[in-house]
Amino acid sequence: MTVLTRGAYGLPGTSLAYKTGNWRSTERPVHVHAKAPCHAACPAGEDQQAWFAKLQEGRAEEAWQVLVAANPLPGVTGRVCPHPCQNACNRKTMDGALAIHNVERWLGDEAIAQGWTHPVAEPAPDAPVVAIVGAGPAGLSAAYHALRHGLRAALYETAPEAGGLLRSAIPRTRLPRHLLDAEIGRLLSLPGIEITYRARLGRDVSVEELASDHAAVCLAPGCQQGRAWDVAGALPSDHHEGLALLREFMDHGQFPPASRIVVHGGGNTAVDLCRLMKRSGVQQVTLITASGLPGPQTAPDDVLNVVPRELDEALEEGIEIVPHATVNRLIMRGSKVIGAEVASLRKERGADGRTRRVTFEGTERVIDVDMVIPCIGELVDPEGLEPLVDRGYLRPGDTWGRLQDNLYALGDARGDRGTVAEAVGDGRRAAEAIAARLAGAEPEADDRGELTAEGLNPVYYEGAPRSTAPKLAVQQRGFDTEIEGDIGRAAALAEAQRCLSCGNCLACDNCWTFCPDNAVIKTVELATDGSHYLFDLDYCKGCGLCADECPTGYIQMQPERGP
Ligand X SMILES: Cc1cc2nc3c(=O)[nH]c(=O)nc-3n(C[C@H](O)[C@H](O)[C@H](O)COP(=O)(O)OP(=O)(O)OC[C@H]3O[C@@H](n4cnc5c(N)ncnc54)[C@H](O)[C@@H]3O)c2cc1C
Positions in the binding site for ligand X (CB under 6 A): 80-81, 133-139, 156-159, 164-166, 169-170, 200-202, 220-222, 224, 243, 246, 268-269, 272, 307, 381, 384, 411-413, 418-421, 423
89: contact with ligand SF4 by CB under 6 A: yes
Site string for ligand SF4, 463-502 (x = CB under 6 A): ------------------------------------xxxx
Distance CA 201, CA 204 (A): 6
Angle between helices 268-279 and 242-252 (to 10 degrees): 50
Contact 153, 147 (CB under 8 A): yes
Residue 100 binds ligand SF4 (CB under 6 A): yes
Of 60, 66, 132, 540, the one binding ligand SF4 by CB under 6 A: 540
What DSSP element (H or E) covers 109?
helix 100-114
Residue 479 interacts with which of ligand SF4, ligand X, other proteins, none, CB < 5 to 8 Å by class: none
Radius of gyration of the chain (CA): 28
Q: Is the dihedral of CA 32, 35, 38, 44 positive or negative?
A: positive
Q: Is 215:175 a contact under the CB 8 Å cutoff?
A: no
Give the H/E segment covering residue 48: helix 48-56
3-state secondary structure labels for all residues of 522-537? ECCCCCCCHHHEEECC
Helical H segments across 198-290, by residue range: 207-213, 242-252, 268-279
Q: Of 209, 316, 509, 560, which one interacts with other proteins (CB under 8 A)?
A: 509
Exactly one of 3, 13, 299, 353 binds other proteins (CB under 8 A); that residue is 13
β-strands 555-559, 27-31: how paired? antiparallel
Our measurement of the distance from residue 485's CA atom to the centroid of its chain's CA atoms, rounded to an integer in Å, reads 20
Integer Cα distance of 489 and 493 in angstroms: 6
- Could you tell which of ligand X, other proteins, ligand SF4, none binds residue 497, using a CB distance below 5 to 8 A set by kind? other proteins
Q: Does residue number 116 form part of the binding site for other proteins (CB under 8 A)?
A: no
Measure CA 103 to chain center: 14
Select from other proteins, ligand SF4, ligand X, none the partner in contact with residue 11, using the beta carbon and a kind-dependent cut-off of 5 to 8 Å: other proteins
The least CB distance from residue 206 to ligand X, in Å, is: 10
DSSP 360: P
528 binds other proteins (CB under 8 A): yes
Closer of 99 and 277 to other proteins (Cβ): 99
Taking a C-beta distance cutoff of 8 angstroms, is the pair 305, 206 a contact?
Answer: no
Among 2, 12, 299, 349, binds other proteins (CB under 8 A): 12
Shortest distance (Å) from residue 80 CB to ligand X = 4
Examine residue 49 and tell whether it contacts ligand SF4 (CB under 6 A).
yes
Q: Which of 180, 417, 377, 172 is nearest to 275 (CA)?
A: 172
Site string for ligand SF4, 16-45 (x = CB under 6 A): -------------x------xxx-------
What is the distance between the alpha carbons of residues 55 and 75, in angstroms, rounded to a whole number?
17
List the single partner that 197 binds among ligand SF4, other proteins, ligand X, none, CB under 5 to 8 Å by kind. none
Spatial distance between the Cα atoms of 142 and 44, rounded to a whole number of angstroms: 12
Residues 23-62 as x/- pattern, contact with other proteins by CB under 8 A: x-----------------------------x--xx-----
Q: What are phi and psi of 369, to 5 degrees?
A: -145, 165
- Least distance in angstroms from the C-beta of 499 to other proteins: 9
CB of 478 vs ligand SF4, minimal distance in Å: 33
If one asks whether residue 55 binds ligand SF4 (CB under 6 A), the answer comes out as: no
Q: Interface with other proteins includes 405 (CB under 8 A)? A: no
Q: Least CB distance from residue 390 to ligand X, whole Å?
A: 17
Question: Considering only 57-65, 217-225, 409-417, 547-555, which stretch makes contact with ligand SF4 by CB under 6 A?
Answer: 547-555
62-75 burial string, b = 16+ CB within 10 Å, else e?
bbbbbbbbbbbbbb
Residues of this chain that bind other proteins (CB under 8 A): 6-7, 9-20, 23, 53, 56-57, 459-463, 497, 501, 506-510, 513-519, 521-524, 528, 534, 536, 538-539, 541-545, 547-549, 551, 557
